[in-house]
Structure 1
């Protein structure tokens, strides 16, 4: 008869995600993970695999949680322009500690240069972000919120790049007014 786990798998994964998010992959040791998650080494290996496999699952969990939260708020907006603004505002007004930055950006900077699998995950995330902006711009053009003369793909790429830069800025400054001005300037491209 199989034994039941003495810990909640979702909670343990969230704890691992939080620790990787705070410290990064390289700085986080297996002992750090075991202590933070409150589980035994065998349980970690049996449930999640090795440190790398656990990190990949933590990356996926962060992306799933953050994307879900953003999409819920974006979908509640009354206009496409407000929805795009919401995407940027959610980068500034975060519930977690802004100094932790974005798990995905942190991963891109720390590991993507050295690890093909992680680099692909980061690229896929940025491509999904670009596609969301692209669909929103097309929708805004169809609804008459944005000029039909805008190149939707170019603007989507620009907004994706701007959102990456903003995620870095959020990590290094607590000047919310400055961040809001950056977003205001960025979104002027939609007024052309």
Structure 2
């Protein structure tokens, strides 16, 4: 008779996200994962596969959770510029989480070395650019964003700035500097 799992998969996967996010892939050992996730090594292998497979599942779950957060924010029916600002502000605040963005951190650490990570990160970036483009288009249709900006080009610019801020928060504690960068970036929408 098969033994039932003694843990909730998403709960332990969320723990793996936190550990990989804080330490990075290379610095996280299987023993670190066993201790932090609070489950047996065999259970990790049986449920998720090896360390890389667990990492990919953690990265996919993180990306899904971030997409859901963005969708929730967009569904608030706030003005478009406020929605875009909130996306940037959430990066600067980042309360209760490891510093930076797990997705960006993973792309920086492994993007050149691991095609699977590079592909997942790139696909996520493309979806975010599309979301930003659609927000800019909607803002233009509502008269909230100036009409003479190219939504495609602006979405690339905003994405680049957002990734930059998600990287910079790892090296500076100067909140005013981060806010100034955000304000300058968002000024292209006025």
Normalised by the length of structure 2, the TM-score is: 0.95
Alignment of 1:23-172 (within 5 A): 23-97=23-97, 100-172=99-171
Aligned residue in 1 for 2:17: 17
CA shift for structure 1 position 75:
2.9
Whole-angstrom CA distance in 2 between matches of 1:144 and 1:84? 15
Whole-angstrom CA distance in 2 between matches of 1:28 and 1:128? 28
C-alpha contact (below 8 Å) 1:101/1:171 kept by paired residues: yes
* RMSD (CA atoms): 1.3
Structure 1: tracts of 5 or more residues without a match: none
CA shift for structure 1 position 43:
0.9
Structure 2: tracts of 5 or more residues without a match: none
SS in structure 2 opposite 1:106?
Answer: helix
CA shift for structure 1 position 67:
2.4
C-alpha contact (below 8 Å) 1:74/1:87 kept by paired residues: no
C-alpha contact (below 8 Å) 2:91/2:100 kept by paired residues: no
Normalised by the length of structure 1, the TM-score is: 0.94
Instruction: State the number of aligned residues.
Output: 190
Question: Deviation digits for residues 58-84 of structure 1, max 9, x if unmatched?
Answer: 001111122222332343252111111
Whole-angstrom CA distance in 2 between matches of 1:5 and 1:82? 44
